[in-house]
Amino acid sequence: MFQMKTKSMNNIDGNDMRQKAYLFTNQDLKRLIAPLIVEQILAVTVGMVDTMMVSSVGEAATSGVSLVDMINTLLINLFAAISTGGAVISSQFLGQKNRERACEAANQLLVVTGLISVVVMALAIIFRRGILALLYGSIEQDVMKNALVYLVISAVSYPFLAIYNSCAALFRSMGNSRISMQASIIMNVLNVIGDAIFIFGLHMGVEGAATASLISRMTACVILTYRLRGKDLEIHIMPEHFGWNVPLMKKILHIGIPGGIENSVFQLGRVLVVGMIALFGTTQIAANAVANNLDSLGVLPGQAMSLAMITVIGQCVGAGDFKQAEYYAKKMMKLTYFINGLCCAFVIATMPLTLKLYGLSAETLQLAAVLVLIHDGCAILLWPSSFTLTNVLRAANDVKFPMVTSIASMVIVRLGGGYILAVVLGYGAVGIWCAMVMDWIVRVICFVSRYRSGKWKTFYSVSV
C-alpha cells in the first residue's frame, strides 16, 4: 500500500484542522492513474485491431466479430465485476493494515473467478448457436458462420481473461497499476502481430483474429499470475493455500455479484439493442461496430478512474476515514471530467482520419460518424457521473443501489425507449443511441443524489 504521507488537511474540509495523514499524495495518484489510462487504451485497441483487420475480409466478417464482441464484453464485465469484489475487500484490508487477510482474499478471488469462467466457457461452446440465435434472431448466414467461429475460440480464452482481470485488480489494490499495464502492452503487441500473421499471412479471416486474441490473453494471464506470487508484495497469492474459505468468499461475492448482475444486465441490454439494429441490415450492424470502437476511446479516462476509485476509496473506507474518501472522490471526479472531455473532443475532431482506417462502404462510415457524435458529444457532460461515480459507492460496500438503479434504467429507458425510437418510429441505430443518452441522464440524477445524501457511508463494517 502507499506509504502514509503527512500534509495539511485544511483543503479537505475548509477548516483549520490538526495535521493529519494523507493516504495518497498527488504523486501516488499519478502513479496509479497514468498506467491505468494507458492500460485502458491498450485494452480497447484489441477490439479495434480485430475489427479493422477483419474489415478487410468483408462486412459479413466484421458484423460477425462485432456481434460476438458484444457477448464477450458482457462476460468480460461479469469477470471484472467479481474481480472488483475481490479488489474492494483487499483494498479495505490494506486500509486496516491487515496484510494476511488481504492475501487470503486474493486466493479466494482466483478460486471464484477460475471456477465461474470455466463454467461460462463450457456453456458458451455447447450452446453457441442457440445463444446467437436467441440474442440476435435471424441474421444472414454468412454473418452467423463467422460469429460461430469467433465465439468458440473466444470462449476458450475466458478462463485466461478472468484470471488476468483478477490479478490486475489485485495489483491495483496495492496501488501498483504499472505491472498490469506492462502485461497489457505485451498482450496487445502479441495481438497485433498475431492478427497480421493469421489474417494477412495465413488468410485465416475471423478464425485468425480470434486465435491471435486467445494467444495474447493466455500470455498476459501467465505473466500476471507468476508476478503475483512474489512474497515481497503486500498482496500475493499462495498456491499451497488454495482452498475454500466460505466466509471470505461470501464477502467477495457480496460486492462482486451485484456488480456482476448490474454489468451483465447492462451489457445484455447492449446486446439486445444490437439485436434491434440487426433488423435494419448489415450496414447498420457494421456502423454500430465501428462507432463502438471509436467512441469508447473518448471515455477511457473515466474507465481508468473507475478502477482507481476502488483502490483509493476502498483504502480510505478500510481506514475508517470518510473525510478523505469524500475529498478523493471529488478530486478524482473533477479530474475525470477534465480528461474525459479532452478525449471525447479529440475523438470527434479526428473522425475524418480514423474512419478511413475501416475498409467499409461510405454509407456505413457516414452512419458511424453520426453515432460517434451522439455518444462522445453527450459523454463530455454525462459519462463520468453516470459510471465513474458508482465505484465510490461500491468501494464503501453500497452495491445494491447501483445495481437496482442501473438495471431499472437499462430496461425501462434504454431498452424500452430504444425499441420505441428504433423499431416503432424507425430511427434504427440512431434511435438506439438517443435512448442510451436518456439512460445516462437517469443514472446521473440517481447516482449524484445518492452520493450527496451520504447514505453510502453507512454500509461498511470493520468486520470485513
Give me the phi and psi of 245, to 5 degrees please.
Answer: -115, 85
Predicted confidence (pLDDT) per residue in 10-24, tens digit: 444 444 333 456 677
Q: Which has more pLDDT, 247 or 326? A: 326
Query: How confident is the prediction for the chain on average, in pLDDT?
Result: 83
User: Can you tell me the mean pLDDT for 374-379?
Assistant: 93
Q: Which has more pLDDT, 385 or 195? A: 385
Q: What is the pLDDT of residue 21?
A: 63
5-7 and 20-22 beta bridge pairing: antiparallel
Cell of 399: 452495491
16 torsion bin: left (phi>0), alpha (psi -120 to 50), beta (else): beta
Which of 50-64, 144-158, 353-367, 432-446 is the most confident on average? Answer: 432-446
In this structure, are residues 216 and 187 in contact, taking their beta carbons and an 8 Å threshold? yes
Predicted confidence (pLDDT) per residue in 280-336, tens digit: 888 888 888 888 878 878 888 888 888 889 889 988 888 888 899 999 999 999 999
User: Can you tell me the mean pLDDT for 2-7?
Assistant: 40
Has residue 47 got a pLDDT over 80?
no
Q: What is the pLDDT of residue 385?
A: 94
**Cα 440 from Cα 437, distance rounded (Å):** 5
Predicted confidence (pLDDT) per residue in 348-364, tens digit: 999 888 888 777 788 88
CB atoms within 10 A of CB 394: 29
Confidence at 4, pLDDT banded by 50, 70, 90: very low
Q: What is the pLDDT of residue 173?
A: 84
Q: What is the pLDDT of residue 49?
A: 66
Cell of 229: 506470487
Q: Which helix (H) or strand (E) holds 20?
A: strand 20-22
Predicted confidence (pLDDT) per residue in 78-102, tens digit: 888 888 888 888 888 888 888 888 8
User: Can you tell me the mean pLDDT for 139-167?
Assistant: 87
Q: What is the pLDDT of residue 14?
A: 42
Q: What percent of the chain has pLDDT over 90?
A: 28
Q: What is the pLDDT of residue 417?
A: 93
Q: Which has more pLDDT, 375 or 66? A: 375
Predicted confidence (pLDDT) per residue in 26-39, tens digit: 888 888 888 888 88
